[in-house]
Chains A and B, each alone.
Chain A
Amino acid sequence: MTALQDRAGTKATDRTKAKKISPWLVVVAGAIIVVALTYTLPPFRTYQLATVGAYLCVTAGLTVLTGLNGQLSLGHGALMATGAYTLALWQNKFNLLPVGILVAVLVTTAVGAVIGLAAARLRGPYLAGLTLAVAVVVPSITSTFDETFNSDQGLSVMLNPPPESMTNEQWQAWLCWGGALVTVLVLALLTRGRFGRDMKAVRDDETAARLAGISVARTQVAAFVVSAACAGLAGALFAVIAQSVSPGAFPLTLSLFLLMAIVIGGLGRLSGALIGAVLLVALPAVAHEIGEAAGSQRLEGNLALTFFGVVLVVVMLAAPGGLASLRVPFTKSIPFKKKGH
C-alpha cells in the first residue's frame, strides 16, 4: 500500500476507549477482601496485613515517581520518617489521629516539594546522590535535636484504644488499608489522565515533551510532591502500627528495599506496587524464620537483604518488566472478539 493510497483510504477506526478496569471497582473489591481477611486471619497475620497496607502507600507513590516519571529516589525511607515523626509529635500533643495523619502528609509533602525542586534540576546518578543524602541526613537530625526527637530512643505515639467491636490488629489493618486504597485510587485517577501522560512523556524524551507543551520541571516537582505525600502517609501509618518512632525504623536499607520492591513488582504499575508491598513484609518474615531456625541473629539481619537481591536477579532474568508484567497462562486461551467496523 503506497502512502497516498494509505492516506486516501484510511479505515474507519474504532475510537471506543480501550477497556480498563475502573479504579473505583478495584478499590471496592480491595476493601471487601481486606475486611474479609481481617475477620479470618489470626492476629499476627492481620498485623502483617496492616503492614502491607502501610507499605503499599509508599511503594505506590514511589513506582509512580520512578516508573512513570523516571526519577530515581533513594530517599523515600527518610520521607516516611518525616511523616512518622510528625504524627508522633502531633499525637503526643493533641491526640487527634485523623488530623495528625493529615498534618503528617502535609508536612512530608512540603519537605518533598523542597527536595523535588532540587531534584528537578538533577538527572541520573546526581539525583540518586541527592536523595541518598536525604536518606542519610534525616534520621541523623533526630540526634541533633534530641530534646524534640529523643535521639536514638525515639518517641512513643499516644493513641486512643480501638473501638470495642474490633481488635487492635483489625483496627490497624482497616486504618492502613483505608489509607492504601485511597492512595491507590488517587494515583490511578491521576496517572490515567493528562498528568500520567505528561509524566511518561518527560520520562521518555524531555525535549519532545517540552515541544509538546509540557513544563518538564513542573511535572517532575509535581510527581515528587505526590510521591512524598504517599511516603508521608505510609510513615504516619507505620507510627500508628508500631506506636513508636525511632531513627532505627527508617534506615538507609529501607529506602533500598522500597526501590528493589517496586522493581521486582513491576516499575510504573500499581499492581507491581502491591506485589512489592507484600514482598517487603513476606521476605523479612521468611528471613526471620530461617534465622531463628539457624539460631543466628546476625544471619537474620543480613538474610532479608540477600533474599531481596536474589529475588531481584531472578525476576529480572525471568520477567524484566517485574512480576506484574507476567500474565496468567489461561488468559491467552480466551478467544479475542474482534469488533466489527
Chain B
Amino acid sequence: MSTEGLSLHHITVRFGGLLALDDVSLRVPPGRVVGIIGPNGAGKTTLFNVISGFVAPEKGSMTLDGKPFRARPHQLTGHGIARTLQGVGQFDGMTVLDNVQVGPRSEAEAWAALERCGVAEHARNFPKALPYAKRKRVELARALAARPRILMLDEPAGGLDTDEIRWLADLIRETECTVLLVEHHMELVMSVCDEILVLDFGKPIALGTPGEIRSNEKVAEAYLGAAA
C-alpha cells in the first residue's frame, strides 16, 4: 500500500469574476482524518467538487499515491474514493437496499454497509419513509459499500441530533479509510480530525492540528470578524 495518499497542489478555481479557491494545497496521508472548515462560501464544497471531478481547476494539479489524478465523478469509486453529498442525495424510487447497492456494488457489500450504519432493518423500506437521520445513514452506507480508501464526507452532521453526531464521530474514528471531512459542527471536527485546513474566501488561512486551529487568531477572525 502506498504511503503517498491524496495531494492537492496549488488548486485555483474561478467562477467568472469570483475566485472560489485561491492556491489551495493539501496533503491527505493514508489513514488520517482531515477536516476542511471555514465560513459559508469559503470554498469547502468547491474543493470537494474539484477532487470529485465536478469542477475543473483553472490552475493546480492533484496526485493520488504519487500519480497524477483527475477523475470524472463516475470514475471516483474506481479510484477507491467515495463521497457523500450535503443533504441526503437519495434515490426515492428505490428501496434502501437498492439505494446502497446501486452502481458496481454486490448485495453482500450493501448488506454489510447497511449493518455497519445500523439501518439494515430498513433495507426493504423506501428512503422517504425514514426519518432524516436514518436517511443520512443510508447515504453513508452507500459510500461505505464502495469499500473506499478515501471517504469524503460533505457536512454529514447537518440536521442530526447529539446522539446521531456521537454515532457519526464513532464511525469516523473506527473506520479504516482516510477521511476528508467538510463540516460546520466544530465539536465533531475538533474531536475526530487529525489535521484541519481552514479556508476563508477561497484562501487557505490555517492548517494544523485541532489544538493549533483552536488557538489560531486568523481562524477566530474569519469566523467571528475583525473585532474578535
Instruction: Give me the interface of A with B, judged by CB distance under 8 Å.
Output: 2-4, 6-7, 10-11, 13, 15, 18, 194, 197-198, 200-201, 203-205, 207-216, 268
**Shortest Cβ distance from B142 into chain A, in angstroms?**
6
Q: Chain A interface secondary structure, helix, strand, loop or mixed?
A: helix
Q: A3-B118, A197-B98, A198-B103 are in contact. Are A15 and B111 (CB under 8 A)?
A: yes
Q: A3-B166, A216-B74 are in contact. Are A208 and B89 (CB under 8 A)?
A: yes
Given contacts A197-B98, A200-B94, 20 further A-B contacts (CB under 8 A): A3-B133, A3-B166, A3-B167, A4-B166, A6-B167, A10-B120, A13-B111, A13-B120, A15-B111, A197-B103, A198-B103, A205-B90, A205-B91, A208-B89, A208-B91, A211-B82, A211-B84, A211-B89, A212-B102, A212-B146
Q: A201-B94, A207-B85 are in contact. Are A10 and B115 (CB under 8 A)?
A: yes
- A interface footprint on B144-157 (CB within 8 Å = 1, 0 otherwise): 00100000000000
- A interface footprint on B166-179 (CB within 8 Å = 1, 0 otherwise): 11001000000000
What are 19 contact pairs spanning A and B, CB under 8 A?
A: A4-B167, A6-B167, A7-B118, A10-B118, A15-B111, A197-B94, A197-B98, A197-B102, A200-B94, A201-B91, A203-B93, A204-B92, A205-B90, A207-B85, A208-B85, A213-B76, A213-B103, A216-B74, A268-B93
Which residue of B is nearest A203, CB measured? B93
B91 with A213: CB separation less than 8 A = no
A6 with B118: CB separation less than 8 A = yes
B82 with A11: CB separation less than 8 A = no
Residues in A whose Cβ lies below 8 Å from that of B166:
3-4
Partner of A208, one of B75, B77, B90: B90
Q: Give bound CA distance, A213 to B83, whole Å.
A: 10
Q: A211-B52, A215-B74 are in contact. Are A200 and B91 (CB under 8 A)?
A: yes
**Shortest Cβ distance from A322 into chain B, in angstroms?**
14
Q: Give bound CA distance, A295 to B13, whole Å.
A: 71
Which residue of A is nearest B76, CB measured? A211
At the interface, yes or no: B123 with Cβ under 8 Å from chain A?
yes
Partner of B167, one of A7, A211, A268: A7
Q: Give bound CA distance, A234 to B114, whole Å.
A: 42
Q: A15-B111, A205-B91 are in contact. Are A210 and B73 (CB under 8 A)?
A: yes
- A interface footprint on B46-80 (CB within 8 Å = 1, 0 otherwise): 00000010100000000000000000111111100
